[in-house]
Amino acid sequence: MTSTTKRPPNISVPTPHAKPVVSVEEWEAAAPLGDIESRSVTLVQSASERSALPPKFSVEEPGPLSRPPTPIIHGKLGQLSRPSTPNIAASPRLPASHALHPKQPIQTPQQFYDWFALIDRSVTHSQEAHIRAHLGTVSDHLETCDRLVQRIEEIDKEVDDMLSGWRSVEESGRSLKDACEQLLQERVRLLSLQYTTKTHLDRTAYWI
């Protein structure tokens, strides 16, 4: 019996030391981080800065964020709490101003179906409006293209008329050139005939 009564004091001795209070400096001195761990922490911090904390951890449970159990979590959550503050402050205002946000919390499947049908109709209407606007833009482009095609056809016709006139001028010039060559040949022939006639007359006069 005496041995059994002495065991509880031995078991209860380490209980006061089960949750010691360790400061950040003591933690870092007892468990220093190597190069790989430091790089991992840096990567996690840089990745966490680009995404905001969920409202569940930043609004409903501020206690664990203010007093984290480890220095790593403290550094991670401490940096995230600053950029996420305006998002948390603005988040309750967005649903109130959004038309698709349910006025009351969804509690039954029918409420969810009604809300989903509302979103579906809104998406369909926005898609149809987008398609109608796109069709209007395409119609304007088609009208512009039709006017351009009509203008190109007019210019093509004018160019054909100019080519036809140029061909007629070229043919007329070729005919004029041929006529001039014929006149030159006739002149040469006449000059040759004149010279021959003059020579013949000179010889005749000499013998007379």
For residue 145, what pLDDT is reported? 96
For the CA atoms of 79, 83, 84, 87, the dihedral, rounded to the nearest 10 degrees, stands at 180
Q: Which domain holds residue 31?
A: 20-96
Report which of residues 12 and 179 the model is more confident about.
Answer: 179
For residue 53, what pLDDT is reported? 55
pTM higher than 0.85: no
- Asked if the structure places residue 205 within a domain, the reply is no
- Asked if the structure places residue 188 within a domain, the reply is no
For residue 184, what pLDDT is reported? 94
- Asked if the structure places residue 49 within a domain, the reply is yes
**Residue 150 identity (one-letter amino acid):** Q
- Asked if the structure places residue 87 within a domain, the reply is yes
Mean pLDDT, residues 13-29: 64
For residue 115, what pLDDT is reported? 77
Say how many domains are in the chain: 1
Q: What are the Cα distances from residue 151, in Å, to 81, 145, 161, 162?
A: 65, 10, 15, 16
Could you tell me which residues come within 8 angstroms of residue 44 by beta carbon, excluding any fewer than 6 positions away? Answer: 76
- Asked if the structure places residue 37 within a domain, the reply is yes
- Asked if the structure places residue 73 within a domain, the reply is yes
The rounded distance, in Å, linking the Cα atoms of 51 and 79 is 11
> pLDDT tens across 101-158, in order?
767 777 788 877 777 788 887 777 777 888 888 888 999 999 999 999 999 999 999 9
For residue 162, what pLDDT is reported? 94
- Asked if the structure places residue 60 within a domain, the reply is yes
Is pLDDT at 81 greater than 80 in this prediction?
no
For residue 93, what pLDDT is reported? 45
- Asked if the structure places residue 108 within a domain, the reply is no
Is pLDDT at 6 greater than 50 in this prediction?
no
Report which of residues 33 and 17 the model is more confident about.
Answer: 33
> pLDDT tens across 157-180, in order?
999 999 999 999 999 999 999 999
